[in-house]
Amino acid sequence: MTAFHSTRGGGPATLEAVLQTGTAPDGGLYVPERLAVFEREALAEAATPAELAERMLAPYFAGSSLAGALPDICRNAFGFPLPLVDLSPAGNGAGLRLLELFHGPTAAFKDYGARFLAACLERILADEPASSPPLTILVATSGDTGAAVASAFSGREKIRVVVLFPKGRISPRQEHHLGCWDDNVQALAVHGAFDDCQRLAKQAFADAALRKRVRLGSANSINLGRLLPQSAYHAWAALKSPEGTHFVVPTGNLGNGVACLWAREMGAGIGRILLTTNANRTIGDYLSSGEYLGRESIGTLANAMDVGDPSNMERLRHQFGGDVDRIRAAVSAASVDDGRIRRRIRREYSDSGAVLCPHTAAGVDACRGLLAESGAPAGDWVIAATAHPAKFETVVEPLIGTAVAPPPQLEELLSRPSSHEEIPAELDALTPFLG
């Protein structure tokens, strides 16, 4: 049985407690006491992404009440395609492929982790007495997380969802997708930036009086139940590629980046990992200077990455004992501003007809920029394509000069009525919605 501890030293905690609370009592984030390590050949025997996820996650579920349900949970979370699609090769001949992570219900990579976590929590709560209070999932979103969580938890018994999003900082379609769910989901537009949403959520979790009255849980990437399954799709792509293939991960709150790092540590055979941000340069500046300085976020075209103080930096630093030199040896980072994102969207469409969302475009641009440098690493690259471009039609369509048809699952969501409430960025304004 794997033990789970806080990044700040607290613990141990059971898997069930880790999944329900998200954060540790000392304010830290939960991590496994040690990561399971596999032979790449053993992982490669998995026939499907769901089977691979089951193999990789079984050590963390052993001895828990969820161990027997893990196969079904993985099948539910990985029940849609996970294709690798060729891009035109780099100038140095390196092969580039997109790992399309946008074929789920809300057309974003966060569908995998959200559905996994929802299936786990529903089973945990089903075993409780009928008189037990409901679990209120509080989630802050910079774009895609909220819709994925709302979709995953909509209509589930004993669970309420409150989604905080920054008013005017997400696309119209993203906003619609946050408010079109069952009655157990409440979307709140916060007057502020994503950092204000994240601050409100952290204040709520830290409020002892509130937590005595309301049973709070998280479905942001601070919850380990999001990160563990995300490591599986990185591993799947690695196993379908030559050993040592490098990965580019567009990242905001650093959850997807940490998940890719964990996949490598668990034996997937991943080479270099390039973390790509937009103009919010916190991660890259930390690796350059060795000093971590969280800051206010900057609004960009790649709004789901508009994060100035990534929560999962705490997990990254904990994994390497806070030694920035060890972190630099494990990952690198690049920042891509809006001008480069625009040019990359145009260029890829012109060159090959590929249509990229702004976040994926940032990753592709960072990768091609690195490969254009002298001394670039040899080998092929996989770039995580994090969202369907139709979610960002107001950005993408003017750049390529044509409409981007939404996939069927997004069309269906757009046909539903959608609503939300507005609140100031104050805890007193949020608490009435928490129950």
* Model confidence band, residue 9 (pLDDT cutoffs 50, 70, 90): very high
Residue identified by tokens 């690259």 is 381
User: Cα separation of 155 and 184, whole Å?
Assistant: 6
Residue 419 has what pLDDT? Answer: 96
372-380: which pairs have CB atoms within 8 A and are 24 or more residues apart? 372/90, 372/91, 372/92, 376/92, 376/94, 377/246, 377/271, 377/272, 378/94, 379/94, 379/242, 379/244, 379/245, 379/246, 379/271, 380/94, 380/95, 380/96, 380/97, 380/241, 380/242, 380/245, 380/246
**Residue 195 binned pLDDT confidence (cut-offs 50, 70, 90):** confident
Per-residue pLDDT averaged across 195-221, rounded? 91
Closest CA to 385 of 412, 352, 414, 345: 345
CB 251 within 8 A of CB 282: no
Taking a C-beta distance cutoff of 8 angstroms, is the pair 309, 281 a contact? no
Which of 99, 197, 81 has its CA nearest to residue 146?
A: 197
374 confidence band (pLDDT: 50, 70, 90) = confident
Rounded to 10°, the helix 255-265/224-239 angle is 60
CA distance 190 to 209: 23
pLDDT higher than 80, residue 1: no
**Least confident range of 114-123, 194-203, 415-424:** 194-203
> What length does the chain have?
435
What's the whole-number mean pLDDT along residues 1-7?
Answer: 90
Q: For the sheet with 246-250, list strands across it.
A: 84-86, 96-100, 381-385, 246-250, 273-277, 332-335
Confidence band (pLDDT; 50, 70, 90) for 373? confident
Position 142 pLDDT exceeds 90: no
Answer yes or no: is pLDDT of 93 > 90. Answer: no
Separation CA 152–CA 146 (nearest Å): 10
| Residue 314: other Cβ atoms inside 10 A | 20
Instruction: Give 119-132 pLDDT, tens digit per residue.
Output: 999 999 999 998 89
What are 218's strand-pairing partners?
Answer: 138
Q: 308 is written with which tokens?
A: 């100035």
* pLDDT digits 0-9 by tens, 52-83: 999 999 999 999 999 999 999 999 999 999 99
Q: Which of 103, 29, 87 is nearest to 386 (CA)?
A: 103
Query: For 224-281, where are the alpha helices, taking DSSP H only?
Result: 224-239, 255-265
Confidence of residue 22 (pLDDT cuts 50, 70, 90): confident
**329-365: pLDDT as tens digits:** 999 999 999 999 999 999 999 999 999 999 999 999 9
Rounded Cα gap, residues 95 and 332, in angstroms:
20
Average pLDDT for 198-209:
91
CB atoms closer than 10 angstroms to residue 398: 11
90-94, 255-259, 264-268, 349-353, range with the lowest pLDDT: 90-94
* Burial class (CB within 10 angstroms; exposed 0-12, middle 13-18, buried 19+) of 154: middle
Section 182-200 average pLDDT:
92
What value does the mean pLDDT of the chain take? 95
pTM (predicted TM-score): 0.95
Q: Quote the pLDDT of residue 11.
A: 81
pLDDT at 15 over 90: yes
Residues in Cβ contact with 381 at an 8 Å cutoff, skipping those fewer than 6 apart: 90, 94, 95, 96, 97, 245, 246, 247, 248, 367, 371
**What pairs with residue 375 in β-bridges?**
none
C-alpha 200/C-alpha 69 separation (Å) is: 34
Residue 22, token pair as written in the block: 């998200």
* 139 three-state secondary structure: strand
- Contact indicator for 232, 286 with CB cutoff of 8 Å: no
Average pLDDT over residues 404-429: 96
Q: Give mean pLDDT, residues 384-394.
A: 96
Least confident of 13-17, 80-84, 89-93, 198-202: 89-93
CA 330 to CA 323: how far, in whole Å?
Answer: 11
Residue-wise pLDDT for 103-121, tens only, equals 999 999 999 999 999 999 9
pLDDT of residue 203: 94
Residue 96: per-residue pLDDT: 95
Gap between the Cα atoms of 309 and 292, Å rounded: 9
Reduced DSSP (H G I as helix, E B as strand, rest coil) percent helix, strand, coil of the chain, to 5: 45, 15, 40
Domains and CATH numbers, the chain: 80-108+225-407 (3.40.50.1100)
What is the distance between the alpha carbons of residues 217 and 136, in angstroms, rounded to a whole number? Answer: 6
Q: State the Cα–Cα distance between residues 358 and 338, nearest whole angstrom.
A: 9
Please tell me which residue, 157 or 362, carries the higher pLDDT value: 362
> Across-strand partners of 276?
250, 334
Instruction: List pLDDT tens digits, range 229-259.
Output: 999 999 999 999 999 999 999 999 999 999 9
